Structure 1
Amino acid sequence: MSSPHSPGTHAEPGTHPGPAGTRSAGVPAEPAPAAVGRAVDRVDAPAKVTGRARYAAEFPYEDLAWAAFTYATVTRGRITAIDTAAASALPGVIAVITHLDAPRMKPSPKPNPIRSMESMATATSVDYLNTPEVHWNGQPVAVVVAEDPETAAHAAESVAVTYEVLPHSADFAAEERHAVPQRNSVIQHASGTKGDADAALAAAPVSVDLRFTTPRHHHNALEPHATTAVWDGGRLTVHDGTQNIHWLRSQLATKFDVPVGDVRVLAPFVGGGFGGKSMVWPGTILTALAARVTGRPVRAALTREGVYRSVGGRQPSVQRVAIGAERDGGLTALIHTSTAPMGKVGGAPEQITSVARHMYGAEHIRHRQYTLGLDTLSTTNMRAPGESIGSFAMEAAVDELAYELGLDPVELRLRNEPSSNPIDGKPFAHRQLTECFANGASLFGWPARSFEPRSMREGSSLVGWGTAAAYHPAWQLPANVTVRLDARGRALVRCAFHEMGMGTATAQSQIAADALGVPFEAVTVEYGDSGLPTGPGAGGSAQTASVASSLLEACEKLKKSIGTPREGESYAQLLARTGRDHAEAVVGSETRVGKRVGQVRFTAKYLREQRRWMKAACGAHFCEVRVDADTGEARVTRWVAVFDVGRVVNAKTAASQLRGGIVMGIGQALTEQTLLDPRTGRIMNPSLSEYHVPVHADVPRIDVSWLDDPDPTMPLGIVGVGEVGITGVAGAVANALHHATGRRLRDLPLTLEKLL
């Protein structure tokens, strides 16, 4: 067996080349122009467009075998017999592994962010292949290893499993009444009150009290989940499309009872994730198990159906939004509640009602979330988990109130824009939502909108204009970074962060270039490898700011260690003048004690800042829809959005991220839903032929812009752009459809039959 990477080296696709071999290596005579804020091309673009970029299922190994999975076909049960004879007899089959012969693995840790951040990567509590128990329809119950993927898939389908079916429930509608209040936690406010919202609602001169529903959603990343696992004695190397390298590394070390240092995870490129690759799902664990059992490198690449069966998605929800107001539009009461299921074997509730805490300056506020357990696969993060579906209900309800009041929907929002966080009075670290609405309304031409529904028409199309606010909290996570500067003016940044298509390596190169005073082209970044300093996970729109914080600190330490340059002299020239080859600075510790100290410091800082500030990105959406008056076919035909996202590091990649969020929101609004049979718990549309995501023909021109005003409480003023784009989108579409047709739809997706 051979590996394309030896320990301590880093794959070319996980870096971008500096000047060596492409330009003279002298110290620049002129100061480098500022890189932050420019529309810089992605440093990984050449590798991707030429095919040099390798993803988890593309790393070559000698003697590579392939794994495929047999998925349970019952909702809740116990395996009473499993016949592997037909599968084992197929030519090319190497092994069929079931609960009858699989080596024992340790249970995954229970999620506890205070004790261990890595425990938050536990997707389910199921001991895969170490138990005959079945907990959801789609749970892997056997692994087949074969010489090629086609044989493995055929053999996996040939495994015959007999079950004792146990009582179960997968029917959300039937079980909704059994929901219980969700508890508040250190990372999520599940409930909160200010004043007496119920009494204020009852006394309000004008009010709305509405019910909204949203369906299950599934991730459909361009790269389905895949893992390549290789054991070398007691050491494990894993190539995986993960959003959190170090959480995955820790989980694998726990499951296979090996030291963390003996596990290496490589993810130089991830083909999209949207939260679906932030947890550790059974496919990754069982691929590593298959490699250990067979003694060969093993690869598993999930089919689309395999992703739906074994990887969680977004929660469905039932929401109530009730708003009371004076006749001038001032809000007196705001109530937002949600009920959403989770799998009985795991999953985390989404912060669905958090928008009620932050968006509107109502005198009285109450929000609360309720949860219940179902015999389904656990839910997981999906772009703006909670806020995306919570903002749909909130923004549609505000629009409906505007019509009750006879007020322009933008004007109603502006009249209720708070000066501080509405529920607790904390100051906003940075919030310019009023400016976003003003700019967006001007760019869109909102003043030309007529108020009455069905009043704008062009030919056979009913034309509707809708608006909504966007909101997503700003977070910061721990990150370890090393920075090296040599006497030739070349800089090397090392951190195990993730590149899922958002341009993280490009942004960090820009930040390092400005901090060190070197050209952007002189910076090389290494990432995507657990052998590098521990990086943050790619989630919560936190990665850029988190790495930037440590990177800026490391650059300052580096410059101090070099000394003070003479006038007009660069730090690299000072190194050369004083006879030093290079200088290096480190932020963060990779020792066990150092990591624990870092965790304590991070938690203390997080809690301190939670008490002091309300940090978030926000924005304003404006959309146009056209609805065929005869057929009811709806199309989004124009979109303008303006955001307050702090400082933008790279104008090109930021625009891409914001547009991508809006596209995903259009899918959420009009087409996307995972259909679950409530009798069997089986997903009925596990493919892109039946789960409909937006394609080019569904997406109009999307004009995005931002205020580019730094948040003074965040590193370099960065707030984050990955998730705020999707929030409010479904609400804006629903509001535009109402303006076009006069029909108020409150159940996603907003499909044709609901408009007719």
Structure 2
Amino acid sequence: MTEHKMDADYGASALDRGVQGLIGKGIDRTDGLAKVTGVARYAADQRPRGKLAYGYAVTATIAVGTVKSVDTRAASTMPGVITIITDDPRLPAESPNIGADMAPRFDGVVESYGQIVALVVAESFEQARAAALAVTVDYAPQKGKFDTMAEIGSAKPPHEGAMLPDAIKGDVDAAMAAAEVSLDITYSTPYQVHAAMEPHAAVAEWDGDDLTLYGSIQIFRAARPLLAKSLGIDIERIHMLSPFIGGGFGGKIGGPEIVLASIAAQAIGRPVKVALTRQQLFHSVFGRSDTFQRIRLAATAEGRLTGMAQDSVVSQKVGVSFFEPVALGALSLYESPARQFTTRIVKLNITRAGAVRAPGEAVGMMALETAMDEMAEQLGLDPIDFRKLNEPVVDPMRGVPFSTRRLTDCLDQGAERFGWDKRVATPGSVREGEWLIGLGMATAARVNFLANSDARVRLTPEGIAIVETDMTDIGTGTYTILAQIAGEMLGLSIDKVRVMLGDSDHPDGAGSGGSFGAASSGSAVQLACDDIVAELARRMDAKPEDMTLKDGHAIAGNKRVPIRTLVGDTEIAAMGILRPGKNSRSFSQATHGAQFAEVAVNAVTGEVRVRRMLGVFDCGRILNAKTARSQALGGMIWGIGYALHEDAVLDQRSGSYVNRDLGEYHIPVNADVPQIEAYFVEEIDNHASPVGAKGIGELGISGAGAAVTNAIYNATGVRVRDWPMTLDQILPGLPPV
């Protein structure tokens, strides 16, 4: 067993000496065939041993008040109905936030629209749904608070110990007063939701006091204890399985469906499946807060920043401590002696806010990078030159060195690949018939995390490596990446590696979230393989660094021996244990990139077409070129959605989202997505993780929407500061045809 704590640079490893040629290659997903042929079983596809029943949630139709009574008489006599759960004290009201001890229980008090108040269980989904619609709930409604800015007077600063406390250095007010050039503008982003393709679903089956739970769950170390505490049972009684997940983005840490299915299955003595509908997900699973961001920039006439501030107002449900960390990406991005990043939280009777892909950066960089574009124009500088002029040497907030930082290279390479030199700075200068053409760019930044992660690797007498961890794959390619790491370390082809994920019987992995999954779980696999390599070297009578492993053979001292011969009749097994350490404090760790967009805006109708996008990203070691590119593309597409489409519209009378389905909550579809290119500036970062990789999944969304926004301004001269950019905002400012 090898345990490593990241207290210092990890240095060179057996992965760096590997000659199998797997690391970095764009290898097809090992689980790809199962997914495209329908063999892969997601949560709702699981087949338990017993006869399956179906649960359907009854949700509140008020936002504030109490439940006076629940009338189930008519529903209980309907065909197929087995039971209706209304008074189980474990009944969850909604999805918890990350770090919650248990699912929030429904106690008869309604604090936001769509809370779960009952569960109907029937022989079929259709019967359960019909009966749920027949349940009558009598409420005592009360007046609620739904408008963030109307309640601004009640806003509070972050709680003690918050992930992002207020950060202030120097005097921004004084810098603004003395600035030769300054900018002071407020931007806003709306409520947004995860909109994962796969809905939240769970299948639960009890065997005495032991529970088997199939779910769509990103992070087992969060969901399993949450479920245990919610049910009031020992965690060891729960066998949790989540082999495939159809998109997570932060929302699937363990939603109310896992508790609903569990208590229903226990109540009827049969397995139960609960799948939340798309409409229910908008309210029973947390989304992203609205934000109101005041950006202030102060600069010399030459363009050097002397002050920068991002002061934000966000909303959150009453009683919930999490808040959108808007300024997370800005903290260490640009040099400026005076700096201020604050958040004020308004508590409302709305669906709780939680972690959605790139919490903070996804919306915070929208505003900051649009403001940087506006400031560059005031200064008469090219937007790229302005950013490079304010590139810091060390972390400007903490004063510590960067582990790696290749932002300037990303900007330069991106500009060259995109053809930035062809941009005409004067807005509205380029036309193609009725279409106005514009180019825009923005910086991408995302903080880098590492998480506790364990993995077991077993090398069998047949020369097969088996990797075991409860790490999950939410479509990011974890199965493939871990196989590549093990294969490279042990000198095995990809077909000689078996990766077993999403099973709580396996060692405790990092889980998928925060862009820490690949680096954390991959490092644990590397550490386990280090032990196996050392044992193989001992059996070869060689030092590990003097031995080469390739194509199933060990080579050292003029000997070439099949690995399976060295293994013998008994497998070689090892555990790799990774723990974060002082390096995260000794070095500023982040990923960076440069986003570019070209748009065409119709001068008559205001229609916007994104014609092409290009991104260059710095994410440490690239483990798989194909899956890395896929993650970048997905984030950039999401950025198009944030710029032009996504807006969960809250009814100020009822506290409900009025567009709670994918018909009315607009996201980019194939026709909206242009040619997209993604490239990487690779530099192995051994300060960040033993495997040398940093997060990719959330970086691609950062700055992407701002690049589109800035391109629209360059095309039209219309500057939109409240997203999404809709026709009513663009049309009035269009130049004459």
Question: Is 1:573 the counterpart of 2:549 in the alignment?
Answer: no
Structure 2: distance between partners of 1:60 and 1:640 = 43
SS in structure 1 opposite 2:184?
Answer: strand
TM-score (norm 1): 0.89
Is residue 470–residue 511 contact of structure 2 (8 Å, CA) maintained in 1? no
Query: In the alignment, what sits opposite 1:655?
Result: 629
Query: In the alignment, what sits opposite 1:303?
Result: 277
Supply the AA of the counterpart residue of 2:709: A
Count of paired positions: 697
Matching of residues 242-641 of structure 1 within 5 Å: 242-278=217-253, 280-346=254-320, 348-562=322-536, 563-565=538-540, 570=554, 573=562, 576-577=565-566, 579-588=568-577, 602=579, 605-606=580-581, 608-641=582-615
Q: In 2 relative to 1, CA 518–578 (structure 1 residues): closer, same or farther, beyond 3 Å?
A: closer
> Structure 1 residue 127: deviation in Å?
1.4
Query: In the alignment, what sits opposite 1:94?
Result: 82
Is residue 347–residue 380 contact of structure 1 (8 Å, CA) maintained in 2? no
Query: In the alignment, what sits opposite 2:170?
Result: 195
> Structure 1 residue 486: deviation in Å?
2.3
TM-score (norm 2): 0.92
Structure 1: distance between partners of 2:722 and 2:114 = 27
Structure 2: distance between partners of 1:494 and 1:370 = 43
Question: Is 1:132 the counterpart of 2:108 in the alignment?
Answer: yes
Q: In 2 relative to 1, CA 345–293 (structure 1 residues): closer, same or farther, beyond 3 Å?
A: farther
> Structure 1 residue 170: deviation in Å?
1.8
Is residue 108–residue 251 contact of structure 1 (8 Å, CA) maintained in 2? no
Is residue 108–residue 122 contact of structure 1 (8 Å, CA) maintained in 2? no
SS in structure 1 opposite 2:421?
Answer: helix
Query: In the alignment, what sits opposite 2:181?
Result: 206
Supply the AA of the counterpart residue of 2:493: P
Matching of residues 687-702 of structure 1 within 5 Å: 687-702=661-676
Please, which of 78, 87, 97 is the counterpart of residue 66 of structure 2?
Answer: 78
> Structure 1 residue 457: deviation in Å?
1.2
Query: In the alignment, what sits opposite 1:52?
Result: 39
Runs of 4+ with deviation above 3 angstroms: 103-111, 121-124, 566-569, 571-575, 577-580
Is residue 32–residue 518 contact of structure 1 (8 Å, CA) maintained in 2? no
> Structure 1 residue 284: deviation in Å?
2.1
Per-residue CA distance 1:338-362 (angstroms, 9 max, x = gap): 1101111436212211233111111
Q: In 2 relative to 1, CA 734–123 (structure 1 residues): closer, same or farther, beyond 3 Å?
A: farther
Per-residue CA distance 1:14-50 (angstroms, 9 max, x = gap): xxxxxxxxxxxxxxxxx96310010100000111111
Q: In 2 relative to 1, CA 54–270 (structure 1 residues): closer, same or farther, beyond 3 Å?
A: same
745-754 or 243-252, larger mean C-alpha shift: 243-252
Structure 2: distance between partners of 1:328 and 1:539 = 41
Question: Is 1:43 the counterpart of 2:18 in the alignment?
Answer: no
> Structure 1 residue 611: deviation in Å?
2.3
> Structure 1 residue 106: deviation in Å?
10
Question: Is 1:158 the counterpart of 2:124 in the alignment?
Answer: no
Q: Which runs of 5+ in 2 are unaligned?
A: 1-17, 542-546, 556-560, 732-737
Structure 1: distance between partners of 2:330 and 2:447 = 13
Is residue 599–residue 608 contact of structure 2 (8 Å, CA) maintained in 1? yes
> Structure 1 residue 642: deviation in Å?
0.5
Supply the AA of the counterpart residue of 2:228: A
Per-residue CA distance 1:559-584 (angstroms, 9 max, x = gap): 22341526776187366257443211
> Structure 1 residue 261: deviation in Å?
1.0
Structure 1: distance between partners of 2:397 and 2:524 = 32
Is residue 237–residue 263 contact of structure 1 (8 Å, CA) maintained in 2? yes
SS in structure 2 opposite 1:533?
Answer: coil
Per-residue CA distance 1:613-667 (angstroms, 9 max, x = gap): 1111100011011100001111111111101111111011111000000001100
Per-residue CA distance 1:164-207 (angstroms, 9 max, x = gap): 11232122121123211114637x23211221111011110100
Please, which of 675, 679, 693 is the counterpart of residue 718 of structure 1?
Answer: 693
> Structure 1 residue 107: deviation in Å?
11
Per-residue CA distance 1:232-261 (angstroms, 9 max, x = gap): 111111111111123211111112222111
Supply the AA of the counterpart residue of 1:53: A
Query: In the alignment, what sits opposite 2:99?
Result: 120
Structure 1: distance between partners of 2:293 and 2:362 = 13
Supply the AA of the counterpart residue of 2:119: V
Question: Is 1:34 the counterpart of 2:44 in the alignment?
Answer: no
Supply the AA of the counterpart residue of 1:335: A
Q: In 2 relative to 1, CA 577–196 (structure 1 residues): closer, same or farther, beyond 3 Å?
A: closer
480-489 or 448-457, larger mean C-alpha shift: 480-489
Supply the AA of the counterpart residue of 1:336: Q
> Structure 1 residue 222: deviation in Å?
1.1
Structure 1: distance between partners of 2:152 and 2:268 = 45
571-580 or 649-658, larger mean C-alpha shift: 571-580
Per-residue CA distance 1:275-331 (angstroms, 9 max, x = gap): 1112x3322212211111111110011111011121110111000000011011011
Is residue 102–residue 230 contact of structure 2 (8 Å, CA) maintained in 1? no
> Structure 1 residue 679: deviation in Å?
2.1
SS in structure 2 opposite 1:570?
Answer: strand
SS in structure 2 opposite 1:164?
Answer: strand
Q: In 2 relative to 1, CA 513–203 (structure 1 residues): closer, same or farther, beyond 3 Å?
A: same
> Structure 1 residue 677: deviation in Å?
1.1
Query: In the alignment, what sits opposite 1:66?
Result: 54
Identity rate of aligned residues, in percent?
39
> Structure 1 residue 110: deviation in Å?
9.9
Supply the AA of the counterpart residue of 1:154: A
Query: In the alignment, what sits opposite 2:4?
Result: none
> Structure 1 residue 587: deviation in Å?
2.9
SS in structure 1 opposite 2:453?
Answer: coil
Q: Which runs of 5+ in 1 are unaligned?
A: 1-30, 112-118, 589-597
Is residue 85–residue 118 contact of structure 2 (8 Å, CA) maintained in 1? yes
Structure 2: distance between partners of 1:649 and 1:388 = 24
Supply the AA of the counterpart residue of 1:75: A
Is residue 575–residue 582 contact of structure 1 (8 Å, CA) maintained in 2? no
Supply the AA of the counterpart residue of 2:24: G
Is residue 463–residue 563 contact of structure 2 (8 Å, CA) maintained in 1? no
Is residue 657–residue 725 contact of structure 1 (8 Å, CA) maintained in 2? yes
Structure 1: distance between partners of 2:336 and 2:115 = 46
Structure 2: distance between partners of 1:537 and 1:175 = 37
Structure 2: distance between partners of 1:574 and 1:176 = 67
SS in structure 1 opposite 2:45?
Answer: coil
Query: In the alignment, what sits opposite 2:13?
Result: none
SS in structure 1 opposite 2:562?
Answer: helix
